[in-house]
Amino acid sequence: MATCEHLLKAGDPPPRTPEGCEECLATGGRWVHLRRCLECGHIGCCDSSPNKHASRHFHDASHPVMQSYEPGENWRWCFLDNAMG
């Protein structure tokens, strides 16, 4: 189902903050949905959340693939190729 090289090569690191968005937990922020970076395990909030930390992590760290960190969801997204896998 993967449609790009980044999705095919994505890892499966453990979540750094399994209890929620790393930055929101540190600042008292809130989130709507969570995403896990498949390069380093960063947990960030989605683009529907006020601070969009998952997208910000991509722009700051250049880690291209994230995965939904919501129960029952396993889809992945490549920011570079705008591809879902």
CATH of the domain at 26: 3.30.40.10
Q: Which stretches of the chain are assigned E, i.e. beta strand?
A: 34-37, 43-45, 65-68, 76-78, 83-84
- Cβ neighbours, 10 Å, residue 69: 21
pLDDT range class, residue 82, cuts 50, 70, 90: very high
Asked if pLDDT for residue 1 goes beyond 60, the answer is no
User: In terms of residue numbers, what domain contains 23?
Assistant: 5-84
Helices (H), the chain: 5-9, 22-27, 53-61
Asked if pLDDT for residue 2 goes beyond 50, the answer is no
- pLDDT tens figures, 46-79: 999 999 999 999 999 999 999 999 999 999 999 9
Structural tokens at position 49: 């959340």
Query: Phi and psi for 22 in degrees, rounded to 5?
Result: -55, -50
> Across the chain, what does the average pLDDT equal?
95
pTM score: 0.93
Average the pLDDT over 4-27 and give the result: 97
As for how many domains the chain has, the answer is 1
Q: What angle do CA 27, 73, 68 make, to 5 degrees?
A: 35
